[in-house]
């Protein structure tokens, strides 16, 4: 089997893309913590459910950004192929 | 445009790329009218039609609102409530129109995946433009409302103003604002687009009816949340430059 330089770069890009989406762990933990505290807050003060929900969703969407950067790197490696 | 790995491995139905439609000669460079331009045009025409229809309707507004007038009043009241709640009484009247416009534009763009278009916000050009508009607005209001001494003091923030060691780091954090704003919106919508393309491309025979649930999440829920986040952050950044009363 012949492996050319281009094939090697493609394979390594795929591995790199897989490694890049590990970044999703962080936002997952962060969003879980935010949701847990949100649930606790609703339990303490059910009247403020609307405010708590919107604040929680805003925080979660901002926390998601780092994970999306990882996804973006993976997409760039797979589809734009800056190295190949 | 380079070939995708997935496309080379035999799955030819997966398609979420931007396609060029018409080549245009722009000062000696060949640029393309792409599908994003067409989708933006459709969204803008829809917004214009909505605006004109609303204008005509509100000219003959009735005391007890009927169907369409009811929807318009609800939309404007809710969005204005959000803007006034976030920006305060001084800044809100100046920016309510702009925030409402980008809210409707981004929301329509995000949910246009439901109607078979490729969402224009899944093109980095669109979201970078939106981020740069926010960036300009932040700094125009900053220089308009705050004295130069105050701006310099803020830029050297944790240290005293005569020791600007922290200045470059604050400068980078200012420049990061439009980049993170635009990348957040872009990557969210793009991830939804890619997921839907994968579902429809790889499971073409099996993808009947149940992808509606995925559309509900990726297009409607995620799109609405990201619209809200973008507008909320824009409002927060701008209203930082107004004196809190």
Residue B150 has pLDDT above 60, yes or no: yes
Q: What are the structural domains, with CATH classification, of chain A?
A: 25-78 (1.20.20.10)
CB contact at 8 A, B192 and B218: yes
Distance to chain A for B29, nearest Cα, Å: 21
pLDDT of residue B98: 92
**Contact at CB, A61 and B184, closer than 8 angstroms:** yes
Residues of B in contact with A82 (CB under 8 A): none
Token pair for B206: 């099996």
Cα B48 to Cα B228: distance, rounded to the nearest angstrom? 21
Beta-carbon contacts of A79 under 8 Å, excluding residues fewer than 6 positions away, are B2, B4, B5, B17
The ranges assigned to domains in chain B are 73-239
Bigger pLDDT: B58 vs B12: B58
Mean pLDDT of all residues belonging to chain A: 90
Contact of B189 with B110, CB cutoff 8 Å: yes
Task: Determine contact: B34 vs chain A, CB below 8 A.
Answer: no
Reported as a pLDDT band with limits 50, 70 and 90, residue B43 is: very high
CA gap B228, B218 in Å, rounded: 15
- Quote the pLDDT of residue B242: 82
Q: Residue B78 is inside which H or E element, if any?
A: helix B67-111
* Shortest CA distance from B222: residue in chain A: A61
pLDDT at B5 over 70: no
Share the mean pLDDT of chain B: 86
What pLDDT score does B8 carry? 42
pLDDT tens per residue, range B119-132: 999 999 999 999 99
Q: What band does B186 get if pLDDT is binned at 50, 70 and 90?
A: very high
Q: Are B131 and B181 in contact (CB under 8 A)?
A: yes
Chain A nearest C-alpha distance from B73 (Å): 21
Q: Contacts of residue B217 in chain A, CB cutoff 8 Å?
A: none
Percent above pLDDT 90 for chain B: 32
Residues 6+ apart with CB under 8 A from A5: none
């Amino acid at each position: 089997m012949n492996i050319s330089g281009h094939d090697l770069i493609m394979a390594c890009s795929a591995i790199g893309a897989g490694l890049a989406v590990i970044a999703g762990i962080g936002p997952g933990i962060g969003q879980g913590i935010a949701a847990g505290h949100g649930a606790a807050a609703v339990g303490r003060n059910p009247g403020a459910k609307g405010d708590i929900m919107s604040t929680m969703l805003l925080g979660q969407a901002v926390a998601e950004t780092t994970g999306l950067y990882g996804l973006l790197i993976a997409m760039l490696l797979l589809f734009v192929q800056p190295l190949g | 445009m380079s070939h995708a790995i997935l496309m080379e491995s035999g799955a030819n139905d997966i398609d979420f790329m931007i396609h060029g439609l018409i080549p245009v000669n722009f000062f000696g460079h060949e640029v393309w009218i792409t599908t994003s331009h067409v989708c933006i045009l459709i969204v803008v025409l829809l917004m214009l039609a909505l605006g004109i229809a609303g204008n005509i309707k509100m000219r003959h507004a009735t005391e007890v609102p009927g169907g369409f007038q009811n929807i318009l009043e609800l939309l404007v009241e809710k969005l204005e409530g959000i803007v006034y709640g976030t920006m305060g009484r001084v800044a809100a009247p100046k920016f309510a129109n702009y925030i409402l416009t980008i809210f409707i534009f981004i929301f329509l763009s995000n949910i246009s995946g439901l109607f078979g278009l490729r969402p224009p916000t899944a093109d980095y050009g669109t979201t970078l433009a939106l981020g740069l508009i926010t960036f300009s607005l932040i700094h125009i209001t900053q220089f308009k409302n705050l004295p130069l001494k105050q701006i310099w003091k803020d830029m050297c923030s944790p240290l005293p103003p005569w020791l600007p060691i922290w200045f470059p780091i604050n400068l980078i954090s200012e420049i990061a604002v439009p980049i993170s704003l635009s990348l957040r919106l872009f990557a969210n919508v793009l991830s939804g687009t890619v997921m839907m393309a994968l579902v429809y491309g790889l499971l073409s025979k099996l993808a009947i009816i149940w992808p509606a649930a995925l559309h509900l999440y990726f297009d409607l829920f995620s799109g609405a949340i990201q619209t809200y986040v973008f507008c909320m952050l824009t409002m927060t950044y701008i209203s930082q430059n107004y004196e809190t009363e």
